[in-house]
Amino acid sequence: MPEYKTAGIILAGGTGSRFGSDIPKQFLELCHKRVIEYSIDKFLNLVDFLVIVSHTDWLDFLSFEIIKDRDIRAVIGGDTRQMSVYNGLCVLEKENPRVVAIHDAARPLFSEDLLKRCIDTALTGGAAIAGITSNDSLAREGDGSILHYIDRETAIRIQTPQAFRYGDLYAAHLGARLHGKNDYTDDSQVVFATGTTVKIVKGEETNIKITSPVDLKIAEAILTLSD
């Protein structure tokens, strides 16, 4: 057993407004299991402590229907994803893990191997994100027209899991809050703003983020095909 501890934070504090269902997308059924349970099962195999960040309206559901008697802590989220992560980090203050991996509950299909590679890279490199290249050409738009093109060869699409040294991520979040910045859309941006190098771990095409109903159908198809 290594002497350092690792932690995971699974983010389920959103309501899935783009998905448009009464039940937030992370709690919908996907091939006989709730979407969030795919992430929970993989994280429990690899981390010492697990925290799930929940929307306040869904805390009871999460506690009684999903967590049940398992050794997982739940905390209420914030108005933005960044604020939700911060609440999760606060819960881990006493445990002070060496590394913390952050993951969107809306991404059920990542592999345990990807999570492990992120954690291992964070242990040696300090910050690690799952990233994949784009098969489409990329451009910046304004007013419905192309402003300029972005070189596809050097662009990546950033996924979760992402792993960080716990102390680095916590300090970076505190700094961002102090500067009134609360809307970073992922944690690599929070630590990058402090000058930390963010290493890229090869992500997975199948690690889609369920955003709209068609993504749930795609996830179902991927799971069925890989059976």
**Binding residues for Mg ion restricted to 13-32, rule: CB under 5 A:** 14
**Binding residues for ligand CTP restricted to 78-137, rule: CB under 6 A:** 78-81, 84, 104-106
Question: Which residues contact residue 84 at a Cβ distance below 8 angstroms, ignoring those fewer than 6 apart?
Answer: 11, 13, 14, 53, 77, 78
Is residue 165 within 8 Å of 154, Cβ to Cβ? no
Q: Give yes or no for residue 157 binding ligand CTP (CB under 6 A).
A: no
**Binding residues for ligand CTP restricted to 29-68, rule: CB under 6 A:** 53
Which residues in 184-209 are b (16+ Cβ under 10 Å) and which e? Answer: bebbbbbbbeeebebbebebeeebbe
* Closer CB to ligand CTP, 21 or 197, in the complex: 21
Using CB under 6 A as the criterion, what x/- string covers residues 165-184 for binding ligand CTP? --------------------
* Closer CB to ligand CTP, 4 or 220, in the complex: 220
Nearest distance in Å: CB 26, Mg ion: 11
Q: Is 179 in a helix, a strand, or coil?
A: coil
The span from the CA of 87 to the CA of 51, in Å, is 10
Nearest distance in Å: CB 3, ligand CTP: 31
**Binds ligand CTP by CB under 6 A, chosen from 6, 8, 9, 16:** 16
The span from the CA of 8 to the CA of 187, in Å, is 13
**Binds ligand CTP by CB under 6 A, chosen from 11, 47, 89, 130:** 11
Task: Report the C-alpha dihedral over residues 47, 219, 212, 52, rounded to 10 degrees.
Answer: -20
Q: Read off the tokens for 105.
A: 């509950």
* Closer CB to Mg ion, 98 or 209, in the complex: 209
Nearest distance in Å: CB 17, ligand CTP: 3
CA angle 86, 92, 95 (to 5 degrees): 155
Q: Which does 168 bind (CB under 5 to 8 A by kind): Mg ion, ligand CTP, none?
A: none
Nearest distance in Å: CB 99, ligand CTP: 20
Q: Read off the tokens for 202.
A: 């090869």
Which residues in 22-42 are b (16+ Cβ under 10 Å) and which e? Answer: eebbbbbebeeebbbbbbbeb
**Binding residues for ligand CTP restricted to 183-212, rule: CB under 6 A:** 209, 211
Q: Which residues bind Mg ion (CB under 5 A)?
A: 14
User: Would you tell me which residues interact with ligand CTP (CB under 6 A)?
Assistant: 11-19, 26, 53, 77-81, 84, 104-106, 209, 211
